[in-house]
Amino acid sequence: MGSKVFLTPYGGVNKIGGNTFLLEDSDSKIIIDFGEDFDRFASYYEFPTNMPKDSVERELVLTGILPKILSHEGNAIFNYSEIRHGKTSTRHEREWSIIDNPVKQPFSVIISHGHLDHVANVVFLPSTTPIYTGTYTQMSFLSRFVSKRIGSLYQMLAFSENLANMEDIDKVDVKNFRHSYREFRNEVPFKPSGIEVKPCAVDHSIPGAFGFIIRTSQSTIGYTGDFRSHGVAKAFTEKFKENLVDEKIDFLICEGTNLGIHQIMDEEGVESFTYKAVSDFFAKGGEHVYISVSSNNIDRISQVYGVAKRLGVNLYLSDEVFLPLLRILRSELRRRIISPLPPLIKDPLLRRREEEKWGKASDIRSLGVLIPNDALGELILSKAEALSLNYSNESDFSSIPSESIILIHDRPPLIKRRVKRKALFIISTSEHESEEGMFALERFVNQAMVMGIPLIRVHSSGHINILDLIDFVKTVNPKHIIPVHTEHPEFFKSYFEVLMGIKVTLPYEGAPIVLER
Ligand SMILES: [Zn+2]
């Protein structure tokens, strides 16, 4: 009997990010995650100054930033959508239309979470492709592409119309996407292209992250996505583990981001360290503390809000933190986020969550927003006024009152800002979560040093630490492991296979692996 079930890796092999795996069970096909390979992207482009803008085929396919997905028999299953350029309009904006190539062999896509190295490339798929995600993933994806990567192929192909023509960018909604995303719910099995998938929520550095349990005709497969067991949602990972044990997994496709050398610190450690650093700094006459986070790391944003609240100081949010947060607060999603969120809107639920976590006694001095000097400035200003928030110009931090924490997405070019003399910068993003690698760390450090801003790093990884990983694998006890999203797949071989007797299959890009027990 010939083999029926194949897994072909097209990304996330021997590196962190870019997860893309084609799973075939006879004629049924699903692609598990469809992420951007940041390293390969950075070999050709630089965010945000040098972005691909002209041709999917000649820029993204030729460079291998987009993989050519072939069935195990070697046939293409689709062609990517393409841009056809028109004339430059009277408003000096380029006009263009989308060439939507038909699918050759039907397939579905399932997305584990909203980090771009797991989802970004879906925008290039034929518009009829069924794409299954959790609810938060759509929201964070939307926020990323509305205000960022403007005018790049990513934004042009993510939406059904040219966002440059929209009056109010804040009105852009998931219904404006070119693809129709379908939602799955925690532990509710669904059948994309006829293959049964059970999504299980996991703890990660973005809300709404899932692992998958996939039943094929020949074997049961577990896919961890990105996960950890030391964050606010660690109970989810525990439940995922129980599900994997119950399902008696044949193959575990497992992430190993934190192999090599990594600092172990849990989210509670980050919270108490941040609290101490900020309170000590202000007690000694410090005026501002800047904290860089990823705008979709909602739990970390909540922590910083908690620190500001408990210390009774001011909190300012940059526009890249403010707008996505406001989007969440205005949607039903706010009810499902575990962490207390900064109360930009009045909602008894938000207040109750805060009291449960931090008690009633303390309160924040004031909440404010940074107004950018670009096209978004006016919009942010009107929202800040409508919500009775303080505001300040983002290029002039010196106008922000003393004893303020300023929460910024990623690491901005400091040298372009006027800053107070006594400022501290806390980096609270990891290298891998810094989705676009917006601004190289070395340049950032040099700028902080020349400006006399002390820098510290306080971070808890979004990924499972090595000791928890060993424990996880021991409990799940799969028959085989396929290591992904790691620079050290050899560790899986030398530890789990040699010491624990679990068969480890190392993946190779484009080489089908037979998944039969
Ligand atoms: Zn991730």
Question: Can you read off the two tokens belonging to residue 94?
Answer: 């380029």
Q: What is the pLDDT of residue 437?
A: 56
Q: What CA–CA distances, in Å, run from 75 to 26, 67, 103, 349, 509?
A: 14, 13, 12, 52, 16
Which residues of the chain fall below pLDDT 50?
435
| Ligand 1 center–CA 317 separation, angstroms | 23
| Ligand 1 center–CA 226 separation, angstroms | 5
Q: What is the pLDDT of residue 172?
A: 85
Helix H or strand E encompassing 384: helix 377-386
DSSP 64-83: TSS---B-TTS-B-B---EE
Q: What is the pLDDT of residue 362?
A: 84
**Long-range pairs, 475-479, Cβ under 8 A, ≥24:** 475/241, 475/245, 476/222, 476/241, 476/244, 476/245, 476/249, 476/252, 477/245, 477/249, 477/502, 478/222, 478/244, 478/249, 478/250, 478/251, 478/252, 478/502, 479/249, 479/250, 479/251, 479/503, 479/517
Question: Can you read off the two tokens belonging to residue 137?
Answer: 């993933």
220: left (phi over 0), alpha (psi -120 to 50) or beta: beta
Q: What is the pLDDT of residue 89?
A: 61
Question: Can you read off the two tokens belonging to residue 201?
Answer: 């929520």
Give residue-wise pLDDT tens across range 201-256: 999 999 999 999 999 999 999 999 999 999 999 999 999 999 999 999 999 999 99
Q: What is the pLDDT of residue 314?
A: 97
| Ligand 1 center–CA 206 separation, angstroms | 7
Helix H or strand E encompassing 98: strand 94-99
| Ligand 1 center–CA 85 separation, angstroms | 34
8 A C-beta contact, residue 288 and residue 397: yes
| Ligand 1 center–CA 277 separation, angstroms | 27
Helix H or strand E encompassing 138: helix 135-147
Q: What is the pLDDT of residue 439?
A: 61
Question: Can you read off the two tokens belonging to residue 329?
Answer: 């607060």
Q: What is the pLDDT of residue 82?
A: 96
| DSSP 8-state assignment for residue 36 | -
- Other C-beta atoms within 10 Å of 174: how many? 14
Give residue-wise pLDDT tens across range 303-334: 999 999 999 999 999 998 999 999 999 998 99
Q: What is the pLDDT of residue 143?
A: 84
Environment of ion ligand 1 (residues, CB < 5 A):
115, 226
| Ligand 1 center–CA 383 separation, angstroms | 30
8 A C-beta contact, residue 455 and residue 445: yes
Q: What CA–CA distances, in Å, run from 84 to 80, 276, 389?
A: 13, 55, 43
| Ligand 1 center–CA 225 separation, angstroms | 8
In the chain the domains, ranked by start, together with CATH numbers, are 5-260+464-514 (3.60.15.10), 267-457 (3.40.50.10710)
| Ligand 1 center–CA 96 separation, angstroms | 32
Amino acid at 435: E
| Ligand 1 center–CA 346 separation, angstroms | 31
| Ligand 1 center–CA 134 separation, angstroms | 14
Question: Can you read off the two tokens belonging to residue 397?
Answer: 């931090």
